Amino acid sequence: MKKILFLVSFCLTTIAVSASPDITCSSNGVRKIFPGVDYVFIFKDITNPMTEITYNGPFLDKNSITWTKFTSGAFGSSNTGQNIISPEDATGYRLTVDDKKIADIWVIDYRPPVLKSVSVPTAQTSECKTVSLAIDADIPALSYQTPASATSLPITRDFNIAYTTLSWNGTAWTPKDTTITISSPIASPKSVPAPYCSTKFTLIGDQYAKDLGIELTPVSTDYTPIAVVCHETSIVSTRNATNEAERPTTAKQIRGSAPFDMQFLSNANEPITQYYKWEIFKDKAFQPFISRTDKDIRNTFSEAGVYKVAVTVSHGDAKSCMFTDSIMVTVSESQIVAPNVFTPNGDGFNDEFRVAYKSIISFHCWIYNRWGRLVYEWTDPMKGWDGNIGGRKAAPGAYFYIIKALGSDYDPNSKPDSKTKLRVGEYKLKGDINLLRGADN
């Protein structure tokens, strides 16, 4: 029975000692991990009598615990018999238990930085894309050593530059808090992305002060930007005639049938943006055929083609910051097709004689009966003939139509077709249309 208990006890002890070391420190310190050692402990005021490092792992008795100092690549004195030590600044310790290494640690007394100022120098390369910040600060170096080398390894200190800019959310510009992290040693001046609104640059840090609960005084400077930005959007005047092909159906659609009426919004970062220049190019032309200087514009596209609608915004004169955005608009080529039958019986399907069309800018249709008498005419391609004459139902049978129309791609200077004698985008249609009614209609 005694042999069994001894074996169980031995196994439990072996498993516990081989587990991961549990080394902690007093509340005025933080534990970090760096290459070459297991832990680096950084303390706020290491002279505080409460400063401690504690080994919480398993041991057979305290005499098996040894803390051996190391510095400059060499081991020094040892402390045996305690699981708690009062560490010294800039000193390494190797912890062993039962002559087995548990961990190598390094200890640092934290030295806070002194942030003096952050400013925007008058001389800037360009403030359109980036802003250079001059940073004045005293940042004591933090470093650690490993048991294998006398070389001091730098510990990077991170500082944050915080400011507000604008972000496009899909419909409008909204404020966006921005943080840029910079690391020691800090090179001054430091460039950051230019903000699009008046803001304040604030230098905060470092991360170890935050971990230790030390409140460092940040430094700030106000800034009025000159960087401009815009996000061009469009609003389309929609039409709901079902006989028009490729008609614009949503405010975001930028391809469709002429006439194509659109409003273009610059959505610039006012009040920084002060000047606007709109240009509309057709079919990859180098020169615009329309130039305007309004904040927003409206234009009707009546000719087929591919258009580039570009807006350039600026802060001041031609040498100031500028930003350009554009939208491509495609106006489809014209087409018109007439049916040969319609059934005005009130069932909601094919109740009117209507042409199927796209990009038609001029239209006229005449309907004649079998004796050549004009019974109906109209000039809007979205509309049609409902099968009535003078408010009364027309008799079923054959009628004759004539259509004259011009498309958005009509070119009066084009060469007429050898057969039809029509120019590009010119339409002259004629044919029979059969009006059918049911027995009750």
- Answer whether 437's CB lies under 8 Å from 345's CB: yes
> What does pLDDT average to over the chain?
88
Check residues 8 and 270 and name the one with the higher pLDDT: 270
Helix (H/G/I), strand (E/B), else coil: 209 = helix
pLDDT band at 16 (very low <50, low <70, confident <90, very high): very low
Check residues 318 and 432 and name the one with the higher pLDDT: 432
Q: Residues 6 or more apart from 384 whose CB is under 8 A from it?
A: 243, 352, 353, 354, 355, 378
pLDDT at 100 (0 to 100): 93
**Quick one: what percent of the chain has pLDDT higher than 90?**
71
**DSSP string across 353-397:** B--EEESEEEEEEEEE-TTS-EEEEES-TT--B-SEETTEEPPSE
pLDDT, tens digit (0-9, with 9 covering 90-100), for 270-319? 999 999 999 999 998 999 999 999 999 999 988 888 999 999 999 876 56
Kind of pairing between the strands at 341-342 and 426-435: parallel
- Say yes or no to pLDDT of 127 above 70: yes
Q: Which residues of 94-111 are buried (b: 16+ CB within 10 A; e: fewer)?
A: bbbbeeeebbbbbbbbbe
pLDDT at 230 (0 to 100): 96
Q: Residues 6 or more apart from 133 whose CB is under 8 A from it?
A: 118, 119, 120, 161, 188, 189, 190, 191, 192, 201
Kind of pairing between the strands at 305-314 and 275-282: antiparallel
Q: What integer is the mean pLDDT of 136-148? A: 95
- Say yes or no to pLDDT of 431 above 70: yes
Task: Give the separation between CA 259 and CA 360, rounded to whole angstroms.
Answer: 7
pLDDT, tens digit (0-9, with 9 covering 90-100), for 321-340? 999 999 999 888 888 999 99
State the amino acid at position 1 in one-letter form. Answer: M
The CATH fold assigned to 17-109 is: Immunoglobulin-like (2.60.40)
Closest listed residue to residue 153, CA positions, set 59, 246, 90:
90
pLDDT at 372 (0 to 100): 95
- Which of 3.40.50.150, 3.40.50.2300, 1.20.1250.20, 2.60.40.10 would CATH assign to domain 233-331? 2.60.40.10
Encoding tokens for residue 172? 């409008």
pLDDT at 251 (0 to 100): 47
pLDDT, tens digit (0-9, with 9 covering 90-100), for 233-269? 998 876 565 555 555 544 445 777 877 789 999 999 9
- Answer whether 25's CB lies under 8 Å from 41's CB: yes
Task: Give the separation between CA 82 and CA 63, rounded to whole angstroms.
Answer: 7
Q: Domains of the chain: which residue ranges?
A: 17-109, 114-140+156-223, 233-331, 335-435
pLDDT, tens digit (0-9, with 9 covering 90-100), for 305-325? 899 999 999 987 656 899 999
Closest listed residue to residue 69, CA positions, set 88, 89, 52, 93:
93
335-435: same fold as 114-140+156-223?
yes
Please give the distance of CA 50 from its chain centroid, rounded to a whole number.
50
CATH architecture classification, 114-140+156-223: Sandwich (2.60)
**Quick one: what percent of the chain has pLDDT higher than 70?**
90
The CATH fold assigned to 335-435 is: Immunoglobulin-like (2.60.40)
Task: Give the separation between CA 153 and CA 145, rounded to whole angstroms.
Answer: 6
pLDDT at 419 (0 to 100): 87
Task: Give the separation between CA 26 and CA 45, rounded to whole angstroms.
Answer: 11
Q: Where are the beta strands (DSSP E) in 224-321?
A: 233-236, 255-256, 260-265, 275-282, 290-292, 297-301, 305-314
